[in-house]
Amino acid sequence: MVADDLGFSDLGCYGAEVIETSNLNGLSKHGLRFVQFYSAGRGCPTRASLLTGLYAHQTDVGQMLIDYGVPGYRGNLNRECATIAERLGSAGYQTYMAGKWHLTLHVEERAPKHNWPQQRGFDHFFGTILGAGSYFRPATLTRGNEFIGYKEDGDFYYTEAIADEAVAMLDKAVVNRAPFFLYVSFTAAHWPLHARPVLLNAYRGRFHMGWDELREKRYQRMIDMKIIERYWKLTPRDPRVLSWFEAPFKDWHQRRMEAYAAQVESMDQAVGRILEKVKQLGREENTLVMFLSDNGASGEEILADWQGPHIPAKTSRGVGVQVGNDPQMMPGDEATYQSYGVPWANVSNTPFRSYKGTCYEGGIAVPLIVRWPAVIRPGLATGDITREIGHVIDVAATCYDVAGVPYPQTQAGHPIKPLEGTSLLPFFLGKEMSPRPLFFEHEGNRAVRYGRWKLVAATGGAWELYDMNADRTETANVAGQNATVAEKMIALYDEWAQKVGVQPWRTGEE
């Protein structure tokens, strides 16, 4: 199960103190929480890596779903990779998907469908082909290969519909008796800020303390929970953000976070329904469950001139949709199209710096909760926290190892690239994992994580080096004191970038 734009500390079991996530908290109590797990830093590259076990550039989703005409950046999953669904399906697994696809640039109803879910291994699919949109009137809502309608009576809410379909898929899987793979890909908590009124009202006034106090409290709670170390400094408030005391439009700012929290709780309820169905079907003991986010929280601020197929012109009630983060318009209703922006994303990524799209910890560090009662050793299955370092490329490798499915040299007659990920199964069984370098690049942002060290640079910026044991919040650049380490890691990055086809990214000044 994959959340969208969920910050590192937005779950109660990772430090959140206001947002209600009882089901995911419960999952963590009977499972394992990774606190050093990484995404690719943005939605579609992460999804490409998750489903293939390769770095996103190797799948042609090195940036977003735009065809730049060069290998690594064609905006479509290529045929040099195999998806988990394709491999498990060939081994007799039933394969199901509910939710956001976001892995093809062909999103129109009559467009080529060679990279739609059912053409990439899924037996059954319900969800959206696009990567974002209204929660009440989502564009490209699809069943199988056909666009479908949705309830126009105001009762449709996408997060709930994803859960409905996932539960139905589980029922079908048990009837068919074969082993199953279910991929649930939520759009929550990605903008726009759309929430059910009952949940939105439940959060009214609960963020009155503002982002400064909330961020400090969350930081302290994360220390107490041993999610982070006491000696890691809380990064300064984003310089673009006023102190809460100085901030205008406090009611509007509160409402933005209230709507975001309601979206997260709605997703948690959906997760709870799916987990309860697994339990009811008697499959809880021997079902491997993994929950993670696709990247860190998003600091994107929606402007009034935003356009696109993901933005409906009108609501299901026929009311025009007002686009943009306008303090005169309270978010939450489907007639608005807003985001919670930099101030609250800074809270969601506590204690880290930066956001989705970058390679600082705020962009790539994500929660991962794993539960598998029949296999994960007892010492790891009681709400334990692990500091084992992992990457989203490891998900596919783990699935193949768990299922006993070999990874071939070809798929459907096409040569495919060797897996980059490492199976986590040996770790689940109590074995130590060997250190390895992990690589990141998105729009010129780049990084290498190798054991205690992290090399990182912003687009157009110089390399920085951080000792992640002493300073995971990346506040003290130690490249000058550790030049040899930095040079070796730069060489590793350059070799990797050439191998996977990273292209230089032009900044606005070039």
Fold classified for 2-434? Alkaline Phosphatase, subunit A (3.40.720)
Output the six-digit token pair for 11: 């779950």
**Residue 127: strand pairing partners:** 99, 142
Output the six-digit token pair for 437: 């370098």
Q: What is the pLDDT of residue 454?
A: 99
Q: What is the pLDDT of residue 378?
A: 63
Residue ranges covered by each domain of the chain: 2-434
The Cα–Cα gap between 495 and 416 comes to: 20
| Furthest C-alpha separation in the chain | 64
Q: List, for the chain, all residue ranges whose pLDDT scores fall below the cut of 50.
A: 509-510
DSSP readout, 68-80? -SSTTBSSS--TT
DSSP readout, 102-164? ---S--STTS--TTSGGGGT-SEEEEESSS---SSS-TTEEETTEE----SSS---HHHHHHH
Question: CB-based contacts of 361: which residues, under 8 Å, 6+ apart?
Answer: 8, 296, 349, 352, 353, 354, 472, 473, 474
The Cα–Cα gap between 425 and 421 comes to: 12
Nearest to 235 by CA among 387, 364, 360, 340: 360
- Assessment of whether the complete model's pTM goes beyond 0.85: yes
